[in-house]
Amino acid sequence: MNEYVMTINQKEYRAEVREINAEYALIQVNGREFRVDLQQLGLGKLMPVAAVAETKAAAPAAQPAIAVAPAPVVVSGEASSIVKAPLPGLIIDVKIGEGEKVKAGQIIVVMEAMKMENQIQATTDGTVKKIFIKKGDNVAEGHAMVEIARSDMASL
């Protein structure tokens, strides 16, 4: 899949990501294969990655057709929030329009990332102020997608 050269404590390692999904990654480091359990990152806080466990050729787990995307990155201003791409991918659908009212949790964008469909949700109640993407766009992690002007009663 992807090959990387990493330096940890002044020692160089060659790593290849052999398989990755929402639950784990199979990574080969200097010829040894490891299974790394993954946990979703929440807004503004990091969760520890589970201990790395050496594994033999494990049978791949079935992947769901639709996955919950990692929480989108949100930049909060005084009166609006910008929803950014949680990971690189292809925009499949934009389900809202500028000027439209949205509720927190409402699906606003559908994107394909890592061969899975991810539904991106509004992070706050408000009105769509600006849409920075369109169907067919490729976006990088952190790319601004939608700006939502928060309603006066929306909580931070």
Residue 6's pLDDT is 79
pLDDT digits (tens, 9 = 90+) for 75-112: 444 477 889 998 899 999 999 999 999 998 899 999 99
Percentage of the chain with pLDDT > 70? 69
- Give the range of the structural domain holding residue 9, as residue numbers without chain letter: 2-54
The answer as to whether 20 is a domain residue is yes
Report residue 115: phi and psi, to 5°: 65, 25
The answer as to whether 100 is a domain residue is yes
The answer as to whether 155 is a domain residue is no
Q: Are residues 132 and 82 in the same domain?
A: yes
* Predicted structure pTM score: 0.50
Report the distance separating Cα 14 and Cα 93, nearest Å. 37
Phi-psi map region of 10: left, alpha, beta (phi>0 left; psi -120 to 50 alpha) = left
How many domains, in total, are found in the chain? 2
Residues 6+ apart with CB under 8 A from 46: none
114 beta partners: none
The answer as to whether 60 is a domain residue is no
